[in-house]
Amino acid sequence: MRYISLGVRGPKTGLADQTGNNSGNWTVAFTPNDFNVNVLPSFEIYKISVSGARGSTCDIFTETKKWDTSVYAFNNSWEGSLSVLPGETVYFYYSDPITDNTPPVVTIWLRYDADIAQVGVLWHGR
C-alpha cells in the first residue's frame, strides 16, 4: 500500500442537529464539500480528534451506516480506517444537548491508497 495524504479537515465545530437523527443535540457533519475529494473507489479517514462537553459520547455514521461509538468524545483521538465513497457525508452525533452551549469540535485526516486508486485526485489546496 502506498498511502497519499489528502490533508486535514477541520477543526469543525458542531451545530444543532439538522438531520433529524440527533434532535436537540450537537452534530458535526463532514459533507462532500468539506472533503473536496474525488478518489475512486474510496478514500479513508485515518485519524480523528474529538472534543466536547465533559462526559459526552458520540456515534459516528457514514450516511446511515454506523461505524463506531466514542464513549470518551469529550477529549479523545484514535486511528482507524473509515472508508468513504465520493459523495458521502460522515456524521458525528453527540450525546449532549445544544442547551449546554458546549459545541463539540472534530478534526479528521484523510488519505487514499495509490495502489488501488483508479482516478486522479481533486484536492484544490485543502
User: 1-5, 19-23, 33-37 — which is least confidently predicted?
Assistant: 1-5
Residue 103 makes CB contacts below 8 A (sequence gap 6+) with: 13, 14, 15, 26, 52
Residue 124: the pLDDT is 45
CATH architecture under which domain 3-113 falls: Sandwich (2.60)
In contact, 46 and 111? CB cutoff 8 Å: yes
The residue extents of the domains of the chain are 3-113
Mean pLDDT of the chain: 91
Q: What is the mean pLDDT of residues 19-46?
A: 95
Q: Quick one: pLDDT band at residue 118, thresholds 50, 70, 90?
A: low
Percent with pLDDT over 90 in the chain: 81
Checking phi first, is residue 87 left (phi over 0); if not, alpha (psi -120 to 50) or beta? Answer: left
